[in-house]
Amino acid sequence: MLTYAVFTGLSFFAHSWWHLLIFRFLAALGVGGEWAVGASLLSETWPRHWRPWIAAVLQTGVNVGILIAGLANYLLAARPPRYLFLIGVLPALLVFYIRRAVPETEEWRAARDRAPTREPGLADLFRGPIRRTTILVIIACGLSLTAHWGFMFWHLQQLRNLPEVLTWTAEQKNKLASTALYLVIVSSVLGNFFAGALARKIGYRATIAGMFGAYFVAMFGAYWIPRDHQSLLCWLPAIGFCQGAFALFTMYLPPLFPTLLRTTGAGFCYNIGRITAAFGTVFFWFVLQSRRSPVGFDLCELVVRARHAGFPVFCPAPATEEGAGCYKRGVLEGGNYCPVSIQKARGTTR
């Protein structure tokens, strides 16, 4: 968190693109580390039946942060964009509280005490039964995050470059972008709690797949024909609502891995997905540049966004006994829910 805050603040002083690139890269390292540790901490701390709701609350915290950033952008619309980076310094104030008040979990302490002299590391993600889980989680994260962040970045660029918007002032364009972002994020908050409620009934995996399928439908409806900015603003809440699927990642991913590999496994797979999303967003730019007409732009939106948003529905997810289904089919082994496949490998299946 401190890494993120410091390098986000330093981005204010960037005077060339490579300065900004370095600062944003270092800030992103802080985001990736904080997400992995925070998700693992919550998954080990809260009772199982509360976890879908905690996932919704955690993702809503992300949404609230984005809303605050959108509000800051709206209020600072007349100022240079670099002033927004100063808002990112505020999370540094939480570091002192976290260091004093947030302890390590009992489950993690017990697993560390039982561990052999060498604690598991990154290479262990690609050994034994856990390798299959690692590969499948990387694929799922890579596809879903590429589609998601491709939309989150390019839909604002499209709104700014619609024919009726091109003649607007920079301040008017910023306010339109802020309005669009608010519609997406507020509806995403509702989607977070809907996803949590649905996951309690049908499970994490089925809920994520279903909401990604709905994401595909919403994208198709919004971008299959050219629309003006008012029409698109009407479709954005449906798209945002479907983004509630990502709220479940915080509780679904960490338990897929053994206790001492949870932070490493969830963080590594999710951040590989973020790296893939970064390349995917740039790829979208090159594809969009080849579509000069408004119709071509919207058709490209349909192909590269809606199609990829639907891919996670068909992407092989970790098998139930190796995934979040461990809560139902696994056994509690020394504080860790042990997948059935690992029990079979050890000859300890019950």
DSSP 169-237: -HHHHHHHHHHHHHHHHHHHHHHHHHHHHHHHHH-HHHHHHHHHHHHHHHHHHHHSS---HHHHHHHHH
pLDDT tens per residue, range 103-126 = 777 766 776 777 666 677 888 899
* pLDDT of 303 strictly over 50: no
**Mean pLDDT over residues 192-213, rounded?**
92
**Predicted pLDDT at 232:** 93
pLDDT grade for 290, boundaries at 50, 70 and 90: low
pLDDT tens per residue, range 238-261 = 999 999 999 898 888 888 888 778
**Predicted pLDDT at 202:** 92
**Predicted pLDDT at 116:** 65
Half-sphere exposure in the Cβ direction for 183 (13 Å, CA): 19
pLDDT grade for 154, boundaries at 50, 70 and 90: confident
Q: Which phi and psi angles does 218 have, rounded to 5°?
A: -65, -40
CA–CA distance, 187 with 286 (Å, rounded to integer):
30
CA–CA distance, 283 with 184 (Å, rounded to integer):
23
CA–CA distance, 239 with 216 (Å, rounded to integer):
9
- Measured between its terminal Cα atoms, the distance across the chain in Å is 42
Q: Which phi and psi angles does 337 have, rounded to 5°?
A: -75, 110
**Predicted pLDDT at 187:** 94
Q: Provide, rounded to the nearest whole percent, the portion of the chain with pLDDT above 90.
A: 20
**Mean pLDDT over residues 61-73, rounded?**
82
One DSSP character per residue, 244-295 reads: GGGGGHHHHSGGGS-GGGHHHHHHHHHHHHHHHHHHHHHHHHHHHHT--SHH
Which two three-digit tokens encode residue 104? 């390590």
* pLDDT of 94 strictly over 90: no
**Predicted pLDDT at 346:** 38
CA–CA distance, 344 with 347 (Å, rounded to integer):
5
**Predicted pLDDT at 308:** 45
pLDDT tens per residue, range 185-196 = 999 999 999 999
**Predicted pLDDT at 289:** 66
pTM (predicted TM-score): 0.71
CA–CA distance, 214 with 221 (Å, rounded to integer):
11
